Amino acid sequence: MVLAQSLFMLLKQRHPDARLDVLAPAWTHPLLARMPEVDEAIAAPFAHGRLDLGTRLRIGRDLRAGEYDRAIVLPNSFKSAIVPCFARARRRTGYVGELRYGLLNDARRLDKQKLPRTVDRFVALGIEPGEALPEIPPPRIRADMDKARTALARLGRSLPAAPVLGLCPGAEYGPAKRWPAEYFADVAQAKLAAGWEVWLFGSDKDAPVTGAIQSMTEKRCLDLGGKTDLEEAIDLMSLTTAVVTNDSGLMHVAAALARQVIALYGSSDPRHTPPLSDQATVLYLGLACSPCFKRECPLKHLKCLRDLPPERVLAALKG
């Protein structure tokens, strides 16, 4: 969702008086609320991978009152184009994807060579066919300092007096995208010894790995794994000086907050979904077996990440 903000920014630049509503899963709404370009976030209550045709038709009919001039459909699935069609949006733009002729009346062929990055593909849907890709604005989300203070107070902490290193050791896609926990712990130990605070970010699913890092550092970090919602994570991350992160949603959040980001890539491809920030450093070995895009290393060695030592991350943090 963070990368979609570049499209939202372009649309608002070209159509400053337009109303921009976003149909998206409810869990993304705290993120959309931090994007000034978005006027309203509309809940998409669809279970992942399910058609839920009745619900899609109902929502589409409900949205007819909005009299939308245009709908841009970012996912390539057939089902994602149903709501805009039944909402009777006058122009419905998207890639052909799963043979969506009829549902889309501005269906475009995706040239992956010409548009290698996800953000390129999103922004290209906001311009006219054949138009050259413009300069792409990087995502920039807003943080709320008052809410950051409130979140820290709830956790028994005050605003930090020392530099803060954020660590994001999770990656929901699978272990082939996760730098080893002991490497994160080594980086944490080094920065703690240098007088920094270290905060561990993650969802409840990441709590086991943040807890493991906390144990390896003798509980000297602030372990936020499973203890914050997305809104709080955004506000707390805005207080960090630098963030070391796997290729994950939080990586894009950190980049959009203009933090120094050290982004670690294993099974995924930084040419496809890089952090969009001039303060980001990508560490990627580009082995012969990379990117494999697998959830688990098919060769059982995870060299793409294990051969990235903590010393390289610490050197990048000094840069």
CATH of the domain at 273: 3.40.50.2000
Per-residue confidence (pLDDT) for residue 172, from 0 to 100: 83
Q: Are 97 and 166 members of one domain?
A: no
Per-residue confidence (pLDDT) for residue 171, from 0 to 100: 87
Q: Are 176 and 298 members of one domain?
A: yes
Per-residue confidence (pLDDT) for residue 136, from 0 to 100: 97
pLDDT in tens, 19-32: 999 999 999 999 99
pLDDT in tens, 232-253: 999 999 999 999 999 999 999 9
**Is 296's pLDDT higher than 80?**
yes
For residue 94, tell me if it sits in a domain. Answer: yes
pLDDT in tens, 189-234: 999 999 999 999 999 999 999 999 999 999 999 999 999 999 999 9
Q: Which domain holds residue 189?
A: 145-318
d(CA 82, CA 54): 10
Provide the whole-model pTM. Answer: 0.94
Number of domains in the chain: 2
Q: Are 161 and 111 members of one domain?
A: no
Q: Are 35 and 95 members of one domain?
A: yes
Average predicted confidence (pLDDT) for the chain: 96
For residue 32, tell me if it sits in a domain. Answer: yes
For residue 225, tell me if it sits in a domain. Answer: yes
**Is 173's pLDDT higher than 90?**
no
Question: pLDDT grade, residue 319 (50/70/90)?
Answer: low
d(CA 245, CA 262): 6
Per-residue confidence (pLDDT) for residue 273, from 0 to 100: 95
For residue 131, tell me if it sits in a domain. Answer: no
Q: Are 118 and 207 members of one domain?
A: no
Percent of the chain surpassing pLDDT 70:
100
pLDDT in tens, 2-12: 999 999 999 99
Q: Are 286 and 215 members of one domain?
A: yes
**Is 60's pLDDT higher than 70?**
yes
Percent of the chain surpassing pLDDT 90:
95
Non-local (6+) Cβ contacts of 6 within 8 A are: 119, 122, 123, 136, 137, 138, 139, 276
Q: Are 88 and 214 members of one domain?
A: no
For the segment 283-287, the average pLDDT, to the nearest whole number, is 96
pLDDT in tens, 75-122: 999 999 999 999 999 999 999 998 898 999 999 999 999 999 999 999
Q: Are 156 and 280 members of one domain?
A: yes
Q: Are 105 and 172 members of one domain?
A: no
For residue 187, tell me if it sits in a domain. Answer: yes
For residue 139, tell me if it sits in a domain. Answer: no
Q: Are 49 and 149 members of one domain?
A: no
Q: Are 255 and 165 members of one domain?
A: yes
For residue 129, tell me if it sits in a domain. Answer: no
93, β-bridge pairs: 72, 106
Q: Are 80 and 184 members of one domain?
A: no
For residue 88, tell me if it sits in a domain. Answer: yes
